[in-house]
Structure 1
């Protein structure tokens, strides 16, 4: 671990702490750290891998006025331990409801900021990569080829198949554009209508979420997590998936009834590409690790060079705005 500090001799300035920063994020942060000159002291903890130990993270943030949160959850216990000092949390993600207790922050008058549309293309590409792995098994063949033998699998052509997109925001639209580019039919469902945009993209609107699950070969989730959407993909919808269907989730695990999905996967007649989980890191004894019909990645969809740059810039913008008495990307 390397501790990088700026302006620490100016003790009258507020303290901004970045307690967990991997190289892909520390490099763009260092490029813009001088923006805090004259406004705040900065402590940036850079290390090769994410630190997730709550006690260590709290210790690093003790005395901070603002915290830039990258790659970890702020539990209620952590939140309370950092009060009344920390008055602003800037999260490097969009859907923050499962990263911090938003009602608690609102009650305590603590500002919560997020980042927006920083990784639409990156997450969309990862969602499509999961589809390709399920359809082509390229990664599995590569792993076996590096060991020995001449493995081969019967693959699925994605062109001509129907992709259902649940949530037609920035990521959903980016996914649709990629899918249309490889010859897929695309159907979308959202709580609000996007008829004009969908038509312009050659995308069909689904009359209901149930219809999307019943009729599509692949369903990809791109909804934000909220009180209204938590658990929206229940056992009834999961069981509407036709045999051979794929479910892709690069959004939030809490959208889905995880036990119901596990039961359907264990039945063996569908497959899934998952980048998000109820518990992160995923426990070593998770039954998902033993399922050949599940492609699982460690919440990595957002981690590209372009997305990292966008995350850092927006987090810095949010904290600087808070220091200046202004508002950028404020959730609470």
Structure 2
């Protein structure tokens, strides 16, 4: 039986916030934030994860606001709940990948997200992926434990002295730049609507032309947010400028790359890549990207650290408190 955690159940005069599904790692951090809503709103949290829309809609029957994370809200589900759910708070930044924002605007449902909560988490995961590419520690660990003590395959690449090209110099990209410089790398970044202070703070060199950035980099790391302006902004032509052997890492969103373009480029077999995000999630074992040699894949976990969960849940509850007070906080779509 699903455990249901409720706060102030006797306060039926207060609006109801429902979290109909929750990732296990979020349970304790978000519970720690619920006292902020004392005398503001009741909370009902179902302590299991499901993406079954029939179940989600049923659990949301009495909700005035929704806390959502880890699953997509279809247009049908959004329409089904919009009559009573007037505020949706998403547990992350890239809400455009999970909710039709234009439809939410049409239905006058506020949508909020969290910002910069995972800058360090995603930046650190970027380097976890990169180190797996260049040092193959996971494979070597398995070899040693299997009794295979061999130096063949153990020779790696060194980051110091290589150039990293960053596409997207926001909070995460700037953090990646700082880490890369600490490893002794030269760092450049695409100068596309990036404030000058971002370059000054991160130490990255601006490059105006994306193709130039890509073709002059030893490592290309993607950190663009997903929005209408960035969807598909990295094209097949851009990826053609990757030199054989260039390391390619994407911990942002797959949709910032033109559909099918990255798969086609990787299938040539000359680009070692590490990906945490995909066109279709969860990724199936039959997906072509799973069968490309030299590729490292992780299941969209770059943002999942203890520190990120703590800041993420703080912002989620702050969004709700602001909504019920008639104020704005991290509003992506306004209901007004």
> What's the TM-score once normalised by structure 1's chain length?
0.95
Tell me the CA shift for residue 231 of structure 1: 0.8
User: Partners of 2:36 and 2:203 in 1: how far apart?
Assistant: 43
CA contact (8 A) 2:276 2:299 kept: yes
Tell me the CA shift for residue 151 of structure 1: 4.5
The worse-fitting range, judged by mean Cα deviation, of 237-246 and 15-24 is 15-24
The worse-fitting range, judged by mean Cα deviation, of 108-117 and 6-15 is 6-15
Q: Deviations over 1:82-131 (max 9, x none)?
A: 12011000111112111111111111111010101101011111111111
2:295 corresponds to 1:274: no
Q: Deviations over 1:190-215 (max 9, x none)?
A: 42244444245432111211111111
User: Partners of 1:114 and 1:305 in 2: how far apart?
Assistant: 18
Alignment of 1:79-228 (within 5 A): 79-152=78-151, 153=153, 154-199=155-200, 201-228=202-229
Tell me the CA shift for residue 165 of structure 1: 0.4
Q: Please identify runs of 4+ aligned residues in structure 1 that moved more than 4 A.
A: none
User: Partners of 1:292 and 1:284 in 2: how far apart?
Assistant: 14
Mark the CA change 1:52 to 1:142 in structure 2 (over 3 Å): closer, same or farther: farther
- In the alignment, structure 2 segments of 5+ residues that lack a partner are none
The worse-fitting range, judged by mean Cα deviation, of 287-296 and 166-175 is 287-296
- In the alignment, structure 1 segments of 5+ residues that lack a partner are none
Tell me the CA shift for residue 157 of structure 1: 0.7
> What's the TM-score once normalised by structure 2's chain length?
0.94
Task: Give secondary structure in 2 for the equivalent of 1:93.
Answer: coil
Tell me the residue number matched to 1:254: 255
Tell me the residue number matched to 2:232: 231
Tell me the residue number matched to 1:10: 11
User: Partners of 1:76 and 1:200 in 2: how far apart?
Assistant: 41
Tell me the residue number matched to 1:37: 38
Task: Give secondary structure in 1 for the equivalent of 2:188.
Answer: strand
